[in-house]
A = this chain, B = another copy of it.
Amino acid sequence: MTQTAAIIGGGVIGGGWLARFLLNGWNVNLFDPDPEAERKIAAVLENARHALPMLYDVALPAEGTLTVCTTIEQAVSGVDWVQESVPERLDLKHKVFADIVAHAPADAVIGSSTSGFKPSELQQGLDRPDAVVVTHPFNPVYLLPLIELVPSPANPVSVIERAKEILTSLGMFPLHVRREIDAHIADRFLEAVWREGLWLIKDGIATTQEIDDAIRYGFGLRWAQMGLFETYRIAGGEEGMAHFIAQFGPCLQWPWTKLMDVPELTDELIAQIADQSDAQSGHLSIRQLERLRDNNLIAMLRALKGEDAAAGALINAHEATIRPALPGAIDGAMTTIERVIPTDWTDYNGHMNESRYGQVFSDAADIVMQTVGADADYIAAGLSYFTVDIQIKFLAETHAGARVNVQSYVLVGEGKKMRLFHQMFGEDGTLMATGEQMLIHVSLETRRACDPRADVLAKLEAIAAAHSALPDPRGV
């Protein structure tokens, strides 16, 4: 049954949560007293609909239904998850949580997006403190997987486990913060960096642009894939982490950071930062900056997905749970691909680059292979199919964000040979490209042609026989 989430507070963070749930097939109830809320949500949702489906090489589930509610009671009734993202004031949060726990089902997880408050602070005075945990996300919530999941001693293990399970099913990474502290983990780092940044600007050492360059051309690239300690482990070399600390530990005593003081946020300092930021990025609207950021994140996350590393490994794990079953019936064309075209597949002509049609057909051939039993285990055992030629006809342009599907036919399936024909269609049924592809079965040890395993060949022959009864899809 479709699950339902209640989103209480629909700013940039609440909107990001809403998009995560909705695009993963959940129904969503929204409560936000702000008269601008629906407009704000629509903007976040537009970004998310553009971006999130591009992380995956399969289609996401059908979107759930969004219901705008006028009371918290209405929003939280009967739901499986409640996510609070109201402004960062403890008195306000207490009031909202009292209303939520009074009306939400007993088994609903109630998460707070708070950046700074500890769960025990949020739970004070509530009837059901055990249902409320911190689930702190990072902007853009629809693309970044990290969620700091912070329970207090009042939360039973069952709530923590249920929260982990649901967050993982949304493609997120629940980082279980085992001891609650102010600002959890990540924001302590962000705060330390923010403070240093303010000092550098106040002291006239660097501008916002120079600080951003110092981050994105250097350690930012390291941290996007390995973090701090694994990076330093490498720096320590074969002698290891203890060696690294012995070598660099003394720096902590050097005057390398503005440890002892906090810069005062005078009007002058605020104006200085705002002016520098305008000079750096003022030629772009926030909407344009969001789109640039999201396209960069999509491209980098897809790059990490290709390596099955860091956040890319999370996407692959999530994708495995939403991948459709292999084609069952073989008496007609097999639907081998259903997916969205990501931004990084387009070229200077503004459309999908021709080589990516080849990638879609290559992926389609993988599904045919899996369907006949030539799957990951089969390949690990040293057998596979290699493509020896392909002819692609490009019939219509396609663009980033387009949803396409591929229908595949087995033209020949005998001995070492597998000849496939793929048709790529747009959502409206337009035929966009065809690919006729010849594959040969090989031993991965000798890299030479060899016969397939008997059961694989039998399945392939059965499909080829069924498809030979169909009109020739090539139309010749």
**Is A228 a contact partner of B215 (Cβ separation < 8 A)?**
yes
Specify which of B236, B242, B300, B388 is in contact with A221 (CB 8 Å cutoff). Answer: B300
Specify which of B214, B293, B389, B390 is in contact with A186 (CB 8 Å cutoff). Answer: B214
Given contacts A220-B223, A229-B212, are A265 and B293 in contact (CB under 8 A)?
no
Q: How far is the CB of A66 from chain B (nearest CB, A)?
A: 21
Identify which of A119-127, A140-148, A423-431, A450-458 touches chain B: A140-148
Annotate A354-368 by CB proximity to B: 1 below 8 A, 0 otherwise: 111111011000000
**Is B240 a contact partner of A186 (Cβ separation < 8 A)?**
no
**Is A219 a contact partner of B205 (Cβ separation < 8 A)?**
no
| Apart from the given pairs A173-B217, A195-B259, A230-B277, 15 other A-B contacts in the complex at a CB distance below 8 Å | A12-B237, A138-B222, A146-B213, A185-B200, A185-B214, A212-B229, A216-B310, A217-B314, A221-B297, A222-B297, A233-B281, A241-B277, A260-B260, A299-B303, A299-B304
In the docked arrangement, what's the CA distance between A252 and B343, Å?
A: 38
Collect the chain B residues with CB atoms within 8 Å of residue A166's CB: none
Instruction: Report if A251 contacts B (CB, 8 A).
Output: yes
In the docked arrangement, what's the CA distance between A433 and B249, Å?
A: 54
Given contacts A233-B289, A237-B12, A299-B306, are A245 and B273 in contact (CB under 8 A)?
yes
Chain B residue nearest in CB terms to A199: B188
In the docked arrangement, what's the CA distance between A393 and B226, Å?
A: 39
Instruction: Report if A447 contacts B (CB, 8 A).
Output: yes
Annotate A294-314 by CB proximity to B: 1 below 8 A, 0 otherwise: 011101111110110111001
Annotate A251-291 by CB proximity to B: 1 below 8 A, 0 otherwise: 11111111110110100001101101110110001100110
Collect the chain B residues with CB atoms within 8 Å of residue A355's CB: 355-356, 358-359, 361-362
**Is B300 a contact partner of A304 (Cβ separation < 8 A)?**
yes
Specify which of B178, B245, B307 is in contact with A205 (CB 8 Å cutoff). Answer: B178
Instruction: Report if A391 contacts B (CB, 8 A).
Output: yes
**Is B241 a contact partner of A265 (Cβ separation < 8 A)?**
no
**Is B193 a contact partner of A228 (Cβ separation < 8 A)?**
yes
Q: How far is the CB of A194 from chain B (nearest CB, A)?
A: 7
Collect the chain B residues with CB atoms within 8 Å of residue A242's CB: 270-271, 273-274
Given contacts A186-B218, A256-B188, are A234 and B310 in contact (CB under 8 A)?
no
Given contacts A191-B251, A193-B189, A255-B182, are A225 and B214 in contact (CB under 8 A)?
no
Instruction: Report if A387 contacts B (CB, 8 A).
Output: yes
User: Majority SS of interface residues in chain A?
Assistant: helix
Given contacts A210-B185, A394-B389, are A197 and B228 in contact (CB under 8 A)?
yes
Collect the chain B residues with CB atoms within 8 Å of residue A391's CB: 389-392
A-B contact pairs, 19 of them (CB 8 A): A181-B203, A188-B258, A221-B301, A229-B276, A230-B289, A231-B293, A234-B293, A240-B277, A241-B274, A242-B270, A242-B274, A292-B307, A292-B309, A296-B303, A296-B304, A349-B444, A355-B359, A389-B394, A397-B447
Given contacts A274-B241, A358-B354, A392-B390, are A311 and B229 in contact (CB under 8 A)?
no
* Residue of A183, A215, A362 ringed by the most chain B CB atoms within 10 A: A215
Instruction: Report if A227 contacts B (CB, 8 A).
Output: yes
In the docked arrangement, what's the CA distance between A280 and B227, Å?
A: 12
Collect the chain B residues with CB atoms within 8 Å of residue A206's CB: 177-178, 185
List A residues at the B interface (Cβ < 8 Å). 12, 115-116, 138-139, 144-146, 148, 173, 175, 177-179, 181-183, 185-198, 200, 203-206, 208-231, 233-238, 240-242, 245-246, 249, 251-260, 262-263, 265, 270-271, 273-274, 276-278, 280-281, 285-286, 289-290, 292-293, 295-297, 299-304, 306-307, 309-311, 314, 343-344, 347-350, 353-359, 361-362, 376, 379, 384, 386-394, 397, 444, 447
Chain B residue nearest in CB terms to A260: B260
Collect the chain B residues with CB atoms within 8 Å of residue A296's CB: 225-226, 303-304, 307, 309-310
